Amino acid sequence: QVQVVESGGGLVQAGGSLRLSCAASGSTSTMRAIAWYRQAPGKQRELVARINNDGNTDYRDSVKGRFTISRDNAKNTGYLQMNSLKSEDTAVYYCNLILLTAYVGSYWGPGTQVTVSS
């Protein structure tokens, strides 16, 4: 019954910014953790950033200082603010939520395309 969808992707020039959103709908009681992954053409899916229920965050080295992950529990929404974008950031970005409904479950969104031009 739970659905997750990403939004905010698009085409930007190098040095620009985008803000991705990850919204959960349905029978959601608690949003325990949020993680953003990305998959570039010809590459494996990789973890970009994550935030747990206590607000602790973790980022992969290549995005530290440029990306910020956050959450709004009242809206059942997670965010990824991406600044100083580089061409290497071009990928499909996926949101993964750890949600507590009747039980703990892992839910993926369908992804949103981010393209950074030089």
Note the pLDDT tens digit of each residue in 16-57: 999 999 998 876 668 899 999 999 999 999 999 999 989 999
pLDDT digits (tens, 9 = 90+) for 65-79: 999 999 998 888 999
3-state helix, strand, coil in the chain (%, to 5): 10, 60, 35
pLDDT score for 93 = 98
> pLDDT class for 116, splitting at 50, 70, 90?
very high
Residue recorded with tokens 């994550």: 50
Taking the alpha carbons at both ends of the chain, their separation in whole angstroms is: 41
